[in-house]
Structure 1
Amino acid sequence: MKRIAVAAEKDVVSDHFGLCEDFLYYNTDGEKITKIERFHNPGHRPCELPEEVIAHGGIDTIISGKLGKEAARIFQDKGVEVIIGAEGETREIVDSYIHGKLHSEGEFCDAWTCEFFS
């Protein structure tokens, strides 16, 4: 089983991880989605939000439109694959990902750094 979190606005991939409305967690088994769970974004807290997303459901992959460099570093340090540049309906994006058709595109944002929030 693989668990994928998607930053979302309703059922569409959010343009930015920290400012999304919700996170949709998709459990997958091979190339099949087996469960979807919604987790409301508790608020944009740079350098803390990635930890909360991981703690809520132990994820393997995070998918978003955009993502900050520090958030990406935190996810990667925890062994979470980071996919950015995604656009569209979340279920279609996850389906594309599990079929090997979705790849990270673009660059990470650098508006936030953790030392400002320590």
Structure 2
Amino acid sequence: MKKVAIPIANEIISEYLCGCSQFVFYDMETKGITATENNVNDFSNENEVRLWIKNNGITDIILHRIKKELIELFTSEKINLFVGVPLVSAEEIIEVYRCGKLESDKSIIAEITN
């Protein structure tokens, strides 16, 4: 199963993972889209984040920005990250993702990793 998580704030992708109010999940097998309230209180708590990944079956995360410290955590869990996506609705991002045209923004990656 392949499941994508997209952090949302004010009906568009949240600028930061920690600032989201909900997550939109897209299941590649069923093509289903669901939304849930953000129930991760502390993204700096590795155990809580790992449990969130496992409980939701997440394989990919699409976001605008991410703290450098979280990159290692997600990659250690074999999560694919798409970073630097535009601040638009989840539906717009899912459509680009489904077409295989979603790419990370290299300038934002360089900014985060330097």
TM-score by length of 2: 0.80
Q: Which runs of 5+ in 2 are unaligned?
A: none
- Whether the 8 Å CA contact 1:8–1:14 is kept in 2: the answer is yes
CA RMSD between the two structures: 2.2
d(CA) in 1 for partners of 2:68 and 2:28? 27
d(CA) in 2 for partners of 1:23 and 1:64? 11
Which position in structure 2 is the counterpart of 1:17?
17
- Whether the 8 Å CA contact 1:13–1:89 is kept in 2: the answer is yes
Moved over 6 A (4+): none
- Whether the 8 Å CA contact 1:2–1:60 is kept in 2: the answer is yes
- Structure 2 counterpart SS, 1:26: strand
* Structure 1 residues 52 and 64: alpha-carbon distance in aligned structure 2, compared to 1, 3 A threshold: farther
**Aligned residues between the structures:** 108
Which position in structure 2 is the counterpart of 1:113?
none
Which position in structure 1 is the counterpart of 2:95?
95
- Structure 2 counterpart SS, 1:4: strand
- Structure 1 counterpart SS, 2:49: helix
Deviation for aligned residue 1:47: 4.1
Deviation for aligned residue 1:101: 1.2
- Structure 2 counterpart SS, 1:33: coil
1:104 aligns with 2:104: yes
Identity of aligned residues (%): 23
Which position in structure 1 is the counterpart of 2:64?
65
Deviation for aligned residue 1:52: 4.1
1:78 aligns with 2:77: yes
d(CA) in 2 for partners of 1:24 and 1:54? 14
Which position in structure 2 is the counterpart of 1:116?
none
* Structure 1 residues 6 and 16: alpha-carbon distance in aligned structure 2, compared to 1, 3 A threshold: same
How do residues 51-62 of structure 1 correspond to structure 2 at under 5 angstroms? 51-62=50-61
- Structure 1 counterpart SS, 2:81: strand
Q: Which runs of 5+ in 1 are unaligned?
A: 111-118
d(CA) in 2 for partners of 1:60 and 1:39? 19
